[in-house]
Amino acid sequence: MELKKILIEKMDGNKSIQRFDEQRNLYKALVEAYEADKA
């Protein structure tokens, strides 16, 4: 899935610890939205 790949690349590119939780929560929300939309 291209969107997931882009998100992972963005997260990998941003190694800032300060933003890690924010990025993880955003990613999790986007994955949940994708799964709900797919269902």
The token duo for 11 is 């997260």
**What's the pLDDT at 28?**
94
**What's the pLDDT at 10?**
75
Tell me how far apart the alpha carbons of residues 12 and 30 are, in angstroms, rounded to a whole number.
16
pLDDT one-digit tens code per residue, 2-28: 888 877 777 666 566 567 788 889 999
Residue 35: pLDDT above 70?
A: yes
**What's the pLDDT at 13?**
65
The token duo for 8 is 């992972």
**What's the pLDDT at 16?**
60
